[in-house]
Amino acid sequence: MISHLSGKLSKLRKDSLYAVVDVSGVGYEVLLPYFVKRTLEEQGDGQQVDLEVYYYVTERHPKPILIGFMREHEKSFFERLVGVEDIGPTKAAAALVMSVSTIARAIEDGDVATLKRLPGIGERTASKVVATLRGKMAGWALLKDEGYDSLPSQPRTQGLDEIKEDVVLALTGLGYRRSEARARVDEVLERSPNLKNEEDILREVFRAERP
């Protein structure tokens, strides 16, 4: 089992949440939660990275998945999150678009509205997260981490094309093919052209899929 990777970031993919870390000539494909990818994007390819790794493999999913984190507390929080029913590692990684402390505080406060802003987390799943983890998140909620929130409540000062790309990236992290993700986003914006931020677009994509 792999618990840590130290090497050079040889490829940070623009169209997915995956990166490749070169460790002594061996390239490891690592799935990065959204907020971790954003941090690494600021530094660029070729940088030296030290990642804490969550190693996931089961009989139903025999191909190992490596999920990378910058800090141990991020990994331990992730381990708690994937223990919630209906939240697997891939879904959890795509959902982590806010800092650990932000999400932990929402859980402790029973703030379902904030949790529903996470990609792929509807009201039912958000309520389940609160029911399962509330009262167990105090340590993470008090962290003085970046307070990073890549889905702010107000529209970001960026173009619509960039916002669309961010939404497509979040959807590919949830398992959508890139072409399918782009088509879903375009359909939503054609129906609702006034949507101006990632949160609202993602919510409409998921709402459209409900029976």
Integer Cα distance of 179 and 52 in angstroms: 31
Highest-confidence segment of 64-68, 168-172, 193-197: 64-68
Say which CATH class 160-209 falls into: mainly alpha
Q: Once rounded to an integer, what is the mean pLDDT over residues 160-166?
A: 78
Residues sharing a CB contact under 8 Å with residue 125, sequence separation 6 or more, in sequence order: 84, 86, 87
Q: List, for residues 80-127, the tens digit of each pLDDT value.
A: 999 999 898 888 988 888 888 889 989 999 999 989 888 889 899 999
| Residue range 150-154: mean pLDDT, rounded | 41
| Cα–Cα distance, 207 to 39 (Å, whole number) | 29
- Residue 124 is predicted with a pLDDT of 93
Q: Quote the CA–CA distance of 199 and 120 in Å, as a whole number.
A: 11
Burial of 198 (C-beta count, 10 Å sphere; 0-12/13-18/19+):
buried
Q: Structural domain boundaries of the chain?
A: 4-69, 72-141, 160-209
- Determine contact, residues 53/67, Cβ cutoff 8 Å: yes
pLDDT digits (tens, 9 = 90+) for 8-25: 998 887 777 889 999 999
Pick the CATH number of 72-141 from 1.10.150.20, 3.40.1160.10, 3.90.1170.50, 3.90.1150.10: 1.10.150.20
Digit-coded pLDDT (tens) for 31-70? 998 888 888 887 777 889 999 999 998 777 788 899 999 8
Let me know if the fold of 4-69 is the same as that of 72-141: no
Token output for 128 = 């389940």
Q: Which residue has the tokens 């493999």?
A: 57
Overall fold of domain 4-69: OB fold (Dihydrolipoamide Acetyltransferase, E2P) (2.40.50)
* Stated pTM of the model: 0.67
